[in-house]
Amino acid sequence: MGWMRDRRVLAVLAAAYVVALAVLVGGPWGWALNRLTVRLYVLFRYEVPIAPDWALPEHYGVLLNVVLFVPVGAALVLVIRRPWWWATAVAAVASGAIEAVQGLFLAREASWLDVAANTTGALVGAVVSALLRRRAG
């Protein structure tokens, strides 16, 4: 019975994440997100200098897109119980749809690089979750 409770908790967390993701990608936050990437650049380049010299603010934007979709891949594997490759493919399609909506209907810039970064994040989340699920039996 514990696994069912855990799965329900994961489902609630996944649903909350989907709502938060919809607000983030559908809202007029483009300027704030750009400021966040510049702030991260300044933080890790000058204040806590751990970033390589070649890292630019654009790289932080890509990294944020990767991190944004790690939970998507994990949720598809853990909650819906699909294989990692299926979760990655669904996340890629979802990311492409998000970018299309942003480019066509919202005051946001659509980017294939964002689709690639989101898909990479989903792949990481899906593979790690599949490995953890397999290890747990």
Domains of the chain by residue range: 2-136
Of the two residues 83 and 24, the one the predictor is more confident about is 83
| Mean pLDDT for all residues in the chain | 89
The Cα–Cα gap between 43 and 46 comes to 6
Of the two residues 25 and 63, the one the predictor is more confident about is 63
**pLDDT tens track for 31-62:** 888 899 999 999 999 999 999 999 999 999 99
Cα 13 to chain centroid distance, Å, stands at: 15
Predicted confidence band at 126 (pLDDT cuts at 50, 70, 90)? Answer: very high
**pLDDT tens track for 109-119:** 789 999 999 99
Helices (H), ranges, 27-56: 30-42
The Cα–Cα gap between 58 and 21 comes to 21
The closest of 89, 91, 95, 83 to 24, measured between CA atoms, is 95
pTM for this predicted structure: 0.86
